[in-house]
Each structure stands twice: as structure tokens, then as C-alpha cells.
Amino acid sequence: MSDGDTRLPIEPLEVRHRREGLVHLALTAAIALAAVPALAIVLFIAYKGAPAISLGFFTEMPMAGMTQGGILPAIVGTLWLVGVSLLFSVPIGILAGVYLSEYAGRSLLARGVDMAIVNLAGVPSIVHALFGLGAFVLFLDFGTSILSGGLTLGVMTLPVIITSTKAAMQSVPHTFRVACWNLGATRWQTIWHVVLPNALPGILTGVILQVSRSAGETAPVLFTGAAFYLPILPTSVWNQTMALSMHVYALVTQVPKVPEATKYATALVLLGVVLCFNSFAIVLRTYLRRNRRW
Amino acid sequence: MEFVIEGLIRLSGVSAIVFILAIFGFIGKEGIVFLFTHIVEMLTSTDWSPTADTPVYGIVALIVGTVWCVGLSLLVSVPLGIAAAVYLSEFSGERTREWLKVIVELLAAIPSVVWGFIGVMIINPLLQAGGAQVGLNGINGALVLGLMTLPLLVSLGEDALRAVPESYRQAALAMGATRWEMVRLVLLPAASRGLLVAVLLGVGRCVGETMAVLMVTGHAVRIPNELFSPVRTLTATIAAELGEAVRGGEHYQALFALGVMLFALTFVVNLIADRTIRGRAESVG
């Protein structure tokens, strides 16, 4: 405390207690304002979208310029994109997390990597889109494809996996490692047989969050892999594809005469996917904290 | 065998550095020459017409549009977010806090395209009913950005307050302070750096936000002259025009130049945030 005026106000107790009550009320109002409108909006989307959701909505191609039919290719396309991004970012991210937790120590390089992760996480999604276009679509000549889009998403979500892997591994007590070293195990054997298995659920939480994040992102795939209207299912990573997030954007801003319920239903599906994955991650994390063996 | 794996680990370890350099390299390659040759025009002209016969690349209106949306949204979301964080951290019961934190975390996960959807489908008609001529405008953008960043501010703010040692609270309460006096006189000053970091990250997030503002701000390159003016941001310009720009052409390079600026801006914001966190680690310990 640096400033001089740290004395408690000398006022009648009654006044101070009344103020306490008012502040309590104001802060309660603040948390309500922070959460209630957003929650209400989510429920409103569910209310408006639910009537248009049927089995056919998930299994049919969009028809008549997207004004009828379902969203099957968008769902399948998102699966492809998320799959490619996982294949790229999970191995690299986990290995990088292992490096930061077990090898890097407090070296200058480790500081540099930490800084890079923070910055990578803060790069705007549209800048990732520019990078994906320049690096994957044009320079590596992957074209506008699932591969380019998935890789762009992968680079973007890499920090999520690195950070959660690092945290999960560091939460494994050091004594576990020491015990293993004393048995004559090498550093890698210790990591593989002792640290990683204990950190696995925590790492998994990060991977789930990555899935949800990539499924929701739009800007990075806008110019790298996603198409507005392509009512066929992709067959390889070299195809372009529709994507759920892109479809929400297209229905709202680019295509005229789409029934309102269809728009809400599409947004609801995207919202549902993202919130389900995040809820799952939260449940997993809570379960882990309760059942930690150390 | 082990040698190979450890090599892979070290290689992946520096991947974050490699990618951040690669991002800068690839964007800089297209944008930096344009940025240096056109910097005066960009920063002095309010006219952004890249497809005109004699193209003009002034970004003043785009910067003002960004500042307008971001500034207006933070004006509301920062005080509200910190107040909510104080409630969560100091005034709510244990169980309520757990539930509220889950809700806040879920709200923070809502994708930006869904926020854009909300702006177009829900806030747009509401603003029109409230007297705006066009519902897609800067205020809509500010509202959407505010709703988006609130959960982020609440959870980062709560982390910052939780990081203040319990002994500070106990000392203040033992002196006979009420809970609010404890918060105002002890907790907020002690957590100020952490709260500043929360705000900085909120700013970075808002400035870089793309899809939502692309969809809801009305897309007019002009300096707002009334409350409900449509505006356009830097990010939205890239998203809207990159598809049409001829690859390698001047327009294309101009958009990459905007990317370089955004990259540099968020880089600096993150750097300051990182410095601030480290400063806190040294002072509180």
C-alpha cells in the first residue's frame, strides 16, 4: 500500500453498514448484468431454433439456394477441419508442453517460448487467416482446401494445448519423478511411464477445449478452406468444404430469403456443439480435482 | 530411440517461436513494403477506396471505427466486469461461486460468429425499435463486443483478486473494516496490476475481433457523426475484401499491411500485459 490514505473512514457504524448493503446490492446487479442478458440470448436462440431442428436437418443437403433442406455438409466439413487441426496441433502441442514442463527449466529459451505462446494466443483470428492464406494456400500450394483450413486452425489453437499440457504435467508432484529416477529410469522413461499417464486427463481437457474452439472459428477458414455453398461431402483433405461456423455467417449475411427458423437452428447447432464440448471439459476438470490421488 | 524422442520434444518446444516468426514473416512479406511506402497516405486520408480508378488507402476512418466500437464497449464492460469479479471473489458463497464461474466460462466460449448472429438477428431489430435508422451500426458492434468480453473480464478479474494473499483480507477485516472497505482500501490496490492485465487482454481481444464486428457494424467507411452511425473496423475490412483482392496486387498488399499493424498492435499489448504480470510477481511475491 503506497498511498497515505489507508485509514478506515471514521463514520458512524450505521452508515458504514448501510453502505456495505448498497454495495452488495450493486455488485449483485453487476454479476446479474454480466450473465443474465447473455444467458437469455442463448435461451432465446434455443427457443427460436428448436422447432426447425429435425433428424432431416442433420442428414440432408441444403437445397434451393440454402433456403431448404439440412446442414449435413456443414457438419461433416467442420468434422474434417477439426480433425485435421487436431492431427496437427495435438502431437506438436503435447510435445511442446512436455518440453516446457520437463526440459526447459528456467532458461532464456523457455522464457522466449512462453512469450511466443502468449503472443500466439493473442494474435487476432483474421491475422491467422492472412497467415494461412500466405503460408498454406499459396506458399505450400495446398490450395483452398481442408488441409489449409485445418492447419490454420491448428496453428491458432496450438497455445491451448501447449498451456494445458504444461499445466497438467507440472501438477504431477516432483517426488513421483524422483522416485522413478531412483529406480534407474531415464528422463524419457520417467515421463512416458509416470508423468504422462498422471497428466493425461488434464491434457485431454485441453484437447477438448481445442475442439470446441476450432469448431467455432470462422475467420481463419474464410479464405483457406471453407466454401459458402458446396452441397457435396468432402472426400479428401484437398477438397474445399462447407463448415458450420461459415454456414451461420452465410445464412445471416449472404443469402436472401432463408427462413428465420433455419438461421436460428443453424446457430443453435453450432452453439450446442461448442457448449457441449466445453461443459464436458469442465465436468472432466471438476472430476479430476475431486479424485486427485495426491 | 530416446535420443530421437528428445529431439522431437525440443523441436516441438520451440514450435511456438517458429510459428510466431512465420506469421510475422508471411504477413510482413506481403504487407511491409506497402506499409512503408504508403504510411503517410494511410495515416492521413479518411478515404479507403482500394477499387477506385486511382485507389486511395486511407485508414483513418477504419482506425476511428475500431476505436469507437472498442472504446464504447470497454466503457461499459470494464467497470461491470470488475464489479462482477469482485462479487464472485469476495461476496458470493462457495457454491454460488462455483456455479457462476461455470456459467461465465461457458459464456466466454460462445464463438464470435454466433455473437455476430446475435447482433444481426436480435440486437439489430431492438436498436431499430429504439429509434436507430439502421440497426447495424457502431453501437451494435460495441454492444456485441461488450457482451463478448464481459465473461473474459470477469474470469481474468476474479483470478487477479484471488491471487491476493488471504492474509491481506484477514488483516483488513481484523482492523474492523467492512467487507467493502476491505475491497476498496486493500484488495483493489493490491490486485491493480492483475486487473490492468485483464483490461489489456480485453482490449487486445476486442481490437482483434473480426467476425462479429464484420457482421454487425454496418460496414460504412466513415467517421461516426452521430450515435447510431454505421462504421467499419480494421479487422472487418480485411475479412470483407481479402476474397476479392487480386493476389499479389496492391489492394492485396494493403490488406496484409493492415494485418501487420494488427499483429504489431496485439504484440505490444501482450508484451505490456506480460511485463505487468512479471512486475506483480516481483512485488507481491
CB B221 within 8 A of CB B194: no
- Averaged pLDDT, B262-278: 87
- Contact B17/A at CB under 8 A: yes
Closest CA to A248 of A231, A232, A228, A233: A228
Classify residue A110 by burial, with Cβ atoms within 10 Å: 0-12, 13-18, 19+.
middle
CB B210 within 8 A of CB A124: yes
CB contacts, 8 Å: A3 with chain B = 189
Enumerate the H helices of chain B as residue ranges: 2-13, 15-44, 60-86, 94-108, 112-118, 124-129, 138-162, 166-174, 179-182, 188-190, 192-208, 211-216, 234-241, 250-284
Q: How far does the CA of residue B149 sit from the closest CA of chain A (Å)?
A: 10
CA B164 to CA B175: how far, in whole Å? 18
Q: What are phi and psi of A143, to 5 degrees?
A: 70, 180
Domain for residue B191, yes or no?
Answer: yes
Q: How many structural domains are present in chain B?
A: 1
Q: What is the pLDDT of residue B248?
A: 84
The CATH T-level fold of domain A57-290 is MetI-like fold (1.10.3720)
CB–CB contact B14 A109 (8 Å)? yes
**Mutation site for A-interface testing, chosen from B66, B113, B263, B271 by largest number of A Cβ within 10 Å:** B113
> What ipTM goes with this model?
0.90
Strand partners, A69: A62
Domain for residue B97, yes or no?
Answer: yes
Domain for residue B81, yes or no?
Answer: yes
CA B64 to CA B231: how far, in whole Å? 9
- Averaged pLDDT, A284-294: 78
Domain for residue B1, yes or no?
Answer: no
Judged by DSSP in three states, A272 sits in helix
Strand partners, A62: A69
- For the stretch B86-123, pLDDT in tens is 999 999 888 999 899 999 999 999 999 999 999 999 99
Closest CA to B55 of B205, B246, B232, B183: B246
Q: What is the pLDDT of residue A56?
A: 79
Q: What is the pLDDT of residue A5?
A: 59
What mean pLDDT is reported for chain A? 87
Q: What percent of chain B has pLDDT over 90?
A: 57
Of B27, B84, B114, the CB nearest to A127: B27
Domain for residue B7, yes or no?
Answer: no
What residues does each domain of chain A span? 13-52, 57-290
Question: What's the pLDDT band for A3 if we cut at 50, 70, 90?
Answer: low
CB B29 within 8 A of CB B260: no
CB B252 within 8 A of CB B245: yes
Closest CA to B64 of B234, B210, B261: B234
Q: What is the pLDDT of residue B275?
A: 84
CA B51 to CA B57: how far, in whole Å? 10
- Contact B119/A at CB under 8 A: no
- Averaged pLDDT, B75-95: 92
**B residues 138-197 near A, CB within 8 Å?**
147, 150-151, 154, 175-181, 185-186, 189-190
CB B46 within 8 A of CB B58: yes
A10 vs A7, A112, B165, CA distance in Å? 8, 50, 26
Q: How far does the CA of residue A232 sit from the closest CA of chain B (Å)?
A: 22
Question: What's the pLDDT band for B281 if we cut at 50, 70, 90?
Answer: low
- Averaged pLDDT, A242-247: 90
CA A248 to CA A75: how far, in whole Å? 11
Classify residue A294 by burial, with Cβ atoms within 10 Å: 0-12, 13-18, 19+.
exposed
Q: What are phi and psi of A124, to 5 degrees?
A: -60, 150
Q: What is the pLDDT of residue A85?
A: 94
CB–CB contact A95 B13 (8 Å)? yes
Q: What are phi and psi of A69, to 5 degrees?
A: 80, -165
Q: How far does the CA of residue A29 sit from the closest CA of chain B (Å)?
A: 8
CB–CB contact B26 A245 (8 Å)? no
Q: Domain limits at B39? A: 16-284
- Contact B84/A at CB under 8 A: yes
Q: What is the separation of C-alpha B101 from the centre of its chain, rounded to a whole number of angstroms? A: 21
Q: What is the pLDDT of residue B271?
A: 87
Q: Which three cell numbers stand for residue A236?
A: 479428401
CA A281 to CA B213: how far, in whole Å? 29
Contacts of B179 (CB under 8 A, 6+ apart): A20, A24, B90, B91, B173
A14 vs A7, A17, A63, CA distance in Å? 18, 5, 69
**Full 3-state SS string of A37-58:** HHHHHHHHHHHHHHHHCCHHHH
Angle at B102 between CA B97 and CA B106, to 5 degrees: 145
- For the stretch B134-156, pLDDT in tens is 888 888 999 999 999 999 999 99
Q: What is the pLDDT of residue B285?
A: 39
Domain for residue B180, yes or no?
Answer: yes
CATH of residue B147's domain is: 1.10.3720.10
Q: What are phi and psi of A224, to 5 degrees?
A: -110, -25
Stated pTM of the model = 0.90
Q: What percent of chain B has pLDDT over 70?
A: 98
What mean pLDDT is reported for chain B? 89
Q: Is the pLDDT at A208 greater than 70, yes or no?
A: yes
Q: What are phi and psi of A39, to 5 degrees?
A: -60, -40
- Averaged pLDDT, B122-127: 90
